[in-house]
Structure 1
Amino acid sequence: MRNDVKFRFATKDDAAEILDFVRALAEYEHLSDQVTATEEILREWVFEKKGAEVLFLSAGGKDIGYALFFYNFSTFLGRSGLYIEDLFVYPEYRGRGYGKALFAQLARIAAERGCGRMEWACLDWNRPSIEFYLSAGAEPLSDWTVYRLTGERLHRLAEDASYSRKKL
């Protein structure tokens, strides 16, 4: 890794670049068909609604990686944690310590902001990332299963009369 590594937080004007990174990550994860985000959606949810933050990693004056993160909350710790939704370095820059630098910067941000922990999910088949996280001292949570409601299923539950607020 070179000494010219820099970090910067994204601004509203970076929405197109964020979307480029999102698409590159989705392609790597074989999930391109699931990307419905647009520049407008990212501007609204990341910057106007402040739903997340984006950190860029640059080397040689070029953005080569990014992380998108937000806060979650641990009732057991009584404090927020930093949840990493995306951590990505372009393939041609991998293996040179850039990912580790980005990951360490996220840990510094979490520590500086008083977060009790840092968490993320990783696809089961992504051995290079799993090995990277393990080498950084991360522990997999084998006792937890992630569940998700999206799209039509989410809306169906929201409108389900058997869970009506009238019964509360």
Structure 2
Amino acid sequence: MIIRKGVKTDMPAVLALIKELAAFEKEPEAVVVTVDELLRDGFGDNPLFHTFVAERNGEVIGMALFYYRYSTWKGKTIHLEDLIVKEQFRGTGAGSALYREVIKFASEQKVRRVEWVVLDWNTPAIRFYEKSGATILNDWRTVQMDEKGMTQFTIDL
């Protein structure tokens, strides 16, 4: 298995992994992003995200997708959006290798924090992150507003 930077030709496999993660998280219909959008947004002059992929025998079996953020308290940070390994390859070390690569990249980029979210029922992931030295923040809540909410909010202004 090798861990490498994702390239354009990996994006169909990345999208398949995103869809597998959505199914795992019990929201299989939530994915609306397309390969074309991944190509446009990840490989232009100012890419909105970066990926690492785990490859085994020429097949992409896992990926980590992340992007830069800016913290008013810490400065430059990285947000790990998704880390997923195909179900049949879980337990092979691919997830750990992808995680290590993201943390190594962040350290090399001199960011002050890497952050991500984990579902409260995903106890294997929570245990893995805690064992790695990550801190699980229980007093913060993720807040989101979808397209419908944004539209309604702007109408109500």
TM > 0.5 fold call: yes
TM-score for the superposition, normalised by structure 1: 0.86
What does 1:114-129 align with in structure 2 at a 5 Å threshold? Answer: 114-129=110-125
Which of structures 1 and 2 has the larger relative contact order (alpha carbons within 8 angstroms, sep 6+)? 2
Structure 1 residue ranges (4+ consecutive) displaced by more than 4 angstroms after TM superposition: none
Residue 118 of structure 2 aligns to a residue in which SS? Answer: coil
What does 1:41-60 align with in structure 2 at a 5 Å threshold? Answer: 41-48=37-44, 50-60=47-57
Matched, 1:10 2:6: yes
The aligned amino acid for 1:120 is W
Give a deviation string over 1:105-157, Cα, whole Å, max 9, x none: 11000000011011100111111111111111111112211110012101222
CA offset at residue 159 of structure 1? 4.3
Correspondence for 1:63? 60
Answer whether contact 2:65 2:81 (CA < 8 A) is retained. yes
Matched, 1:131 2:127: yes
The aligned amino acid for 2:146 is T
Give a deviation string over 1:24-75, Cα, whole Å, max 9, x none: 1111111111011111121222223511111101133322110010011122
Answer whether contact 2:103 2:114 (CA < 8 A) is retained. yes
CA offset at residue 99 of structure 1? 1.1
Distance of 1:60 and 1:13 partners within structure 2 = 16
Correspondence for 2:154? 158
2:139 corresponds to which of 138, 143, 147: 143
Identity across the alignment (%): 31
Residue 60 of structure 2 aligns to a residue in which SS? Answer: strand
Larger Rg computed on CA atoms: 1
2:87 corresponds to which of 84, 88, 91: 91
Distance of 2:13 and 2:155 partners within structure 1 = 36
The aligned amino acid for 2:13 is E
The aligned amino acid for 2:67 is F
CA offset at residue 96 of structure 1? 2.6
Residue 133 of structure 2 aligns to a residue in which SS? Answer: coil
Residue 34 of structure 1 aligns to a residue in which SS? Answer: coil
Q: 1:144 to 1:68 in 2, by over 3 A?
A: same
Distance of 1:96 and 1:21 partners within structure 2 = 16
